[in-house]
Structure 1
Amino acid sequence: MRSALVIGTGLIGTSAAQALARRGVTVHLADHDPEQARTAAALGAGTSEPPAGPVDLCVVAVPPAHVAATLAEEMRRGSARGYLDVASVKGGPRRELESLGLDLAPYIGTHPMSGRERSGPLAASADLFEGRPWVLTPTRDTDTEVLNLALELVALCRAVPVVMDADAHDRAVALVSHMPHLVASMVAARLENAEEAAVRLCGQGIRDVTRIAASDPRMWIDILSANPGPVADLLAELATDLDEAVTALRGLQSADESKRQGGVTGVEGVLRRGNAGQARVPGKHGSAPAVYEIVAVLIDDQPGQLARIFADAERAGVNVEDVRIEHATGQQAGLVQLMVEPQAAPGLAAGLRERGWSLRQ
């Protein structure tokens, strides 16, 4: 791949363009807002000047509702040897293109499973896709050359290719992305009118659950409008679970011993099913989930503290597998939770204490 045209310079389009440009591909940028394309160009994503002729690959990174129309326009224009989109739904755009009577041999649907709470070119990063799954949904009509161009794009972005059927992809992202986003928003909405005293008690748990609720609602309306059926089905199943949980909790309130015991059984069932589902979430590098020991260290909110603690962990000969930071309420301090292999935890704790760190249980 020597040249590419990226249409849509939001988070995903600009990030992909930056990754391609960094690795020597000549990237041309286009957007319905020319100023946004110029911003992406200034960030090293390519040039906002149109290409002189057909490019190797046209990457359409526009909202799902506009994917088919944009692809159809570029394919009729002959803008590239191959065409792909990066929308978060795949079945709808493909069916729209089929209804337009287009030859789909030069097209492949794709979806990089990566993103951020912020959108737009200023949130972009050439490393956004590194190590992340990038779904490809070829059909029997997809030209081999186009599939190879898509695989090259994934490789240049340092992502991991995953081949799926388009409709199976849409059901999967409804489960692991679209439905969780709505649930996170519903939980976060409980905080909108909550008493300030309650909100001040927010800890890492509520932050983890509501983090993705900070995303742009307009972008998510586009996404959910393109995949409403599978998401609605999942929410209906969740609503049944919620009704059962409410009944179980009411049972715990009851003076009737049998109802209380039924409540205990019902709540325990929910929690155990949650344990089983969470255990299926892939771990580091996509491997089976691992159980880590947490070494919690109290740090001041000052420059260089994290660098020091990682350097001291290295001196102790311990690889930190994961890390979380929980900030203290009303204090310039916090807890850094270093997650390590269980057998490494005692040595890390001893090494950090020797270097003056204060550990917490």
Structure 2
Amino acid sequence: MRTAAVIGTGLIGTSAALALTARGIDVHLRDADPDAARTAASLGAGTVDGPEGVVDLAIIAVPPPMIASVLAACQREGLARCYTDVASVKAGPRQDIAALGCDTVHYIGSHPMAGAERSGPLAARADLFEGRTWVLTPTPDTDTDTLNAALELVALCGAVPVVMDAEAHDRAVALVSHTPQVLASLVAARLEHAEENAVRLAGPGIRDTTRIAGSNARMWVEILSANAGVVADILEELAADLGTAVTGLRSMQAADEAKRAEGASTVEDVLRRGNAGRARIPGKHGAPPTRYEVVAVVIGDQPGELARLFAEAGRAGVNIEDVLIEHSTGLQAGLVQLMVAPSAVAGLTSALQQRGWRVRSDR
């Protein structure tokens, strides 16, 4: 690949363009909003000038309802040898593409499983796709050259390709992406009119649960509208489970001891099912889930403290698998939770305590 065109310079389009230009690809940028394209160009994502000839690959990064019409226009123009889109749903756009009679030999759907709470070209990063899954959904007649072009795009962006059927992809993302977005928003909405004293108690649990609720609402309406039926099906299943949990909680308040015990058993079953589902999420580098233990360290909120802590963990020969920082309300300090292998807990705890850190572990 030597040349590419990116149509749509939002977060995903601009991030792909940045990754490609960083690897020497000539990228030509287009957007319905010329200011967005110029902003992306100013960030080093490419040029707003048109290509001199046919580009190797056109990447269509527009909302799902617009994919088919943009693809049709680009193919009429003869913009590229191969085409892909990066929309978060695949079945609906494919149906639209077929309805418009687009060339599907030189087209392949794709979806990089990456994003951020912020949108637009200013939120873009060249490393956005590093190590992330990038789904490819070829049509029955997608040719080998087009598949290879898409695979090269994925490789240049540092992502990991996975080939799926379009409908299977939509069911999967409804479960692991679209439904969680709605649920995070529903939980966060409970905070809108909550008393200030309650909100001030917010800790890492509520922060983790509601992180994606900060995403652009209009953008998510466009995504959900293209996968609404599947998401609604999953939400209905969740509603049934929620009703079961509510019934169990009400029973736990009953005067009858047997009723209370039954309610507790119902709620415990819900929580244990959650344990089982959580345990299926892939671990580090896609490996089977690994159990880590926590070494919690009190840390001052000043420059250099976190780097010093990591350096001392390194000197102790301990690999930090994950990290979580909980900031203290009203104090210039926080709690850093270092996730490490169980065998490393004792050694790391001892090493840090010897260096004067206030440490506690799960043990």
The TM-score with structure 1 as length reference comes to: 0.99
The C-alpha deviation readout for 1:173-216, integer Å capped at 9, x for no partner, is 00000001000000000000000000000000000000000000
Report what 2:113 is aligned to: 113
Q: Which amino acid aligns with 1:106?
A: H
Report what 1:155 is aligned to: 155
Backbone CA RMSD of aligned residues = 0.7
Report what 2:131 is aligned to: 131
CA distance in 2, matches of 1:70, 1:332: 52
CA distance in 2, matches of 1:110, 1:60: 10
Q: Which amino acid aligns with 1:100?
A: L
Report what 1:272 is aligned to: 272
Q: Bigger shift: 152-161 or 30-39?
A: 30-39
The C-alpha deviation readout for 1:132-154, integer Å capped at 9, x for no partner, is 00000012200110000000000
The C-alpha deviation readout for 1:210-265, integer Å capped at 9, x for no partner, is 00000000000000000001000000000000111110000001101221111011
Q: Which amino acid aligns with 1:138?
A: P
Aligned length: 361
The answer as to 2:91 corresponding to 1:91 is yes
Q: Which amino acid aligns with 1:87?
A: A
Q: Bigger shift: 179-188 or 301-310?
A: 301-310
Q: Which amino acid aligns with 2:138?
A: P
Report what 1:297 is aligned to: 297
Q: Which amino acid aligns with 1:128?
A: L
Report what 1:76 is aligned to: 76
Report what 2:320 is aligned to: 320
The C-alpha deviation readout for 1:65-116, integer Å capped at 9, x for no partner, is 1111111110111100000000000001111010112221010000000011
Contact 2:3 2:56 in 1 (8 A): yes
Gaps of 5+ in 1: none
Aligned residues with identical type, % of pairs = 68
CA distance in 2, matches of 1:209, 1:34: 36
Find the residue that maps to 1:110 and give its secondary structure.
strand
Report what 1:23 is aligned to: 23
Q: Which amino acid aligns with 1:353?
A: Q
Report what 1:330 is aligned to: 330
Q: Which amino acid aligns with 2:223?
A: I
CA distance in 1, matches of 2:270, 2:88: 30
Find the residue that maps to 2:263 and give its secondary structure.
helix
Report what 2:45 is aligned to: 45
Report what 2:10 is aligned to: 10
The answer as to 2:176 corresponding to 1:176 is yes
CA distance in 2, matches of 1:101, 1:40: 32
Report what 1:245 is aligned to: 245
CA distance in 2, matches of 1:102, 1:124: 30
CA distance in 2, matches of 1:269, 1:211: 26
Report what 2:287 is aligned to: 287
Contact 2:71 2:102 in 1 (8 A): no
Contact 2:8 2:32 in 1 (8 A): yes
